[in-house]
Amino acid sequence: MKQNLIGGAWVDGPRTTRNINPSDTRDLIGEYALADAAQTQTAIAAAQDAFSSWSLSTPQQRFDALDAIGTEILARKAELGDLLAREEGKRLPEAIGEVGRAGNIFKFFAGEALRQAGEVLGSVRPGVGVEVTREPVGVVGLITPWNFPIAIPAWKIAPALAFGNTVVFKPAELVPGSAWALAEIISRSGVPAGAFNLVMGRGTEVGATMLEDKRVNAISFTGSVATGQRVAAACVSRFAKFQLEMGGKNPFVVLDDADLAVAVNCAVDSGYFSTGQRCTASSRVIVTEGIHDKFVAAVAERIKTLKVDDARKAGTDIGPVVDDRQLAQNLEYVQIGQAEGARLVAGGQAIPTNADGQPGYFMSPALFAETTPSMRINREEIFGPVVSVQKARNYEEALFMANDTPFGLASGIATTSLKHATHFKRHAQAGMVMVNLPTAGVDYHVPFGGRKGSSYGPREQGRYAAEFFTTVKTAYTQA
């Protein structure tokens, strides 16, 4: 059994959870300890105790630890990628790519530990000096989702540690394997006991305890809108800093002048790869009249060629969804779309077993056409391989439809018009905009985040991560 890491020691929990392979539900990956409220409080106390020393550690100490973590992750990329694909269902090349991204994130923030800067300014008063510096926030609670089980933890843990904070990390219950493997690497990196703690467990126990404990100075959360709202309310009530990354209903616009092959590739990648289980996925495609019919036909033909199979098998294009509840939700939305009058062009069926007889949570990628903006399949985040197409008269209507959503994470367009591309980049109401690229797929060294109901607080990743994980101090000195 894999244990939690609390105060530098590996400890059992009062309960355990079974980690099941969604590509083959007969395959038990392992059993993992579940922490309770009391153990979470112990982890918070350990992080608080460690803060005094880690917050005053040298930039070189933090660089060395984070660089060692990144180096080991990259060296074990194939092994860790196989584990990720096995427990989450992301096909193996994507899983290995995610692990590589996690390693690079730790390498980047190792450098940021050395690049921390401040300002020395002249005062408006004679003989007074002014210094502006950044200091760590304190004990940081990190709550991460199941769809990127090593990359999202990495982009929260790495900056937290780089800037001298201590960490209590709660991963999603569905993917304890990748979280535990990452914690085990961190435990040997030179980060002192208590500066990093892993508490696997239920949100109602572990997460709730982190939210309510006044010793936790900040919470960084990625997950559902409903849970994000609860995080915000709990943090506001005790004036804790918080950062939220939540849902998306990301549009991808295809204009008449688009290269059809580029548009189809972007839409298929954005909507179906990683089984559609990406917050940046485009499940809502808005296509202008002149290219609409050709686009729908081309996407329908393309997805019929996609192989749905075991995530770790060579040649697989789409793996399983993460569990039975997600599969049931996806299929329910297919029924909702049909009931609302949308035309199911292709897919949308459960596949109980693969060709080898493995029972898994497989589903054929679904494509809807003849949909309207008010349909639930165009308003609500499905988080599966379900894509709906809406027809627009022209660019102006397509832009309006793209922005007609309570979310604002990513937005994309396929066009060969510099005029429309430039206008869209400025007027798309999203935190990230892609032109002739899939909406899912971002770099690790630049800011990540959205607007409206998708995000709240400072951006994640890149140099902008310092905005959340540090606090600014202004010091005045009379010579």
User: Which residues are the active-site residues?
Assistant: 245, 279
Residue 59 CA: distances (Å) to CA of 51, 55, 161, 177, 352: 15, 10, 11, 30, 52
**Count of C-beta atoms within a 10 Å radius of residue 216:** 23
Rounded to the nearest 10 degrees, the angle between the axes of helix 59-75 and helix 92-115 is 170
Query: Which pair of tokens denotes residue 319?
Result: 């793996």
Alpha helix segments (H runs only) across 27-165: 37-54, 59-75, 77-88, 92-115, 151-162
Q: Phi and psi of 345, rounded to 5°? A: -75, -40
- Residue from 253, 188, 165, 148 nearest 5 by CA: 188
Question: Do residues 408 and 453 lie in contact, with contact meaning Cβ atoms separated by under 8 Å?
Answer: yes
Structure tokens at 208: 């709730």
- Distance of alpha carbon 450 from alpha carbon 333, whole angstroms: 25
Distance from C-alpha of 409 to C-alpha of 247, rounded to nearest angstrom: 8
Closest CA to 170 of 143, 152, 195: 143
